[in-house]
Amino acid sequence: MKKDEYDFLIKRISKMYEIDWLRVKAVCLAESNMNPNAKSHCGAMGLMQIMPATAGDFGIKNPENLYVPEINIAVGVRYLNLLYGKYAEISDPDERWLFTHAAYNAGRGNINHAAKHELLQDGSCQTWDEAEEHLIEITGEEHSRETRGYIDHIQQFYSELQND
C-alpha cells in the first residue's frame, strides 16, 4: 500500500491513545477508501465514516466538521479506543480488536447480543467466530453479511499494511 497524505495525522492521533496506527488506517481504507469527503447512505461522514450522533457524543456539534480529516480521525480513534475498552474481558488482543471493529460497524449493542449466545462460565465470549455465528439472528442476513465482509476487509487491509 502506498504512503497516504493522512498517515501523519493517523500516526499522531493514534499514538495519543496507544492504538496501532495501522489498525486506524485499515478502518479508513475500509470505511471511505481514504476519501475525506465520503458520505454513506446512512449519513456517516468522512475518512472514518463517523455518524453525526457519535460525533456529538465526543463534542462535535457541527456535522460538517466531520469532513475535516484531523477532526474525523480524532473522533474515530477516540471511538475505537472507547469500544476497545468495552471488551476488556477478551484476553486475546487480536480477538478484542475483531469485536471492536465489529461494534464500530454494526453497533456495540448488536455485537454484545450476538456474543451473549456464546458466553463462557466467566460471562465472556472470547472469539469473534463464536459471536459471528449468531449475528444473523440479531441483525438479519444482509447486515450480518455486511459486518462479516467489513471484518474481512479490515483484516485484509491490516495485514497488507503490516507487510509494507
Lowest mean pLDDT, pick from 77-81, 89-93, 102-106, 154-158: 89-93
Q: Decide: 67 and 46 in contact? Cβ < 8 Å.
A: yes
- Nearest Cα to 102, choosing from 54, 160, 53, 149? 149
162 in any annotated domain: no
Indicate if 133 belongs to the active site: no
Q: Hey, is 107 helix, strand or coil?
A: coil
Note whether 63 and 100 are same-domain residues: no
Q: What is the spatial distance between Cα 39 and Cα 75, in angstroms, rounded to a whole number?
A: 16
Domain boundary pick from 53, 86, 119: 86
Which H, E and C letters describe 120-164, residue by residue? CCCCCCCCHHHHHHHHHHHHCHHHHHHHHHHHHHHHHHHHHHHHC
pLDDT digits (tens, 9 = 90+) for 1-31: 456 899 999 999 999 999 999 999 999 999 9
Q: What is the pLDDT of residue 116?
A: 65
Domain hosting residue 140, numbered range: 89-148
Q: Annotated catalytic residue: which of 5, 18, 31, 141?
A: 31
Note whether 58 and 123 are same-domain residues: no
Tell me how many domains the chain contains: 2
Note whether 144 and 68 are same-domain residues: no
Model confidence at 121, in pLDDT bands (50, 70, 90)? Answer: very low
Q: What is the spatial distance between Cα 34 and Cα 22, in angstroms, rounded to a whole number?
A: 13
With residue 20 as reference, give the H or E element that holds it: none
pLDDT digits (tens, 9 = 90+) for 36-72: 999 999 999 999 999 999 999 999 999 999 999 999 9
Note whether 61 and 142 are same-domain residues: no
Domain boundary pick from 86, 112, 128: 86
What is the CATH number for 73?
Answer: 1.10.530.10
Q: What is the pLDDT of residue 4?
A: 85
Note whether 73 and 107 are same-domain residues: no
Model confidence at 139, in pLDDT bands (50, 70, 90)? Answer: confident
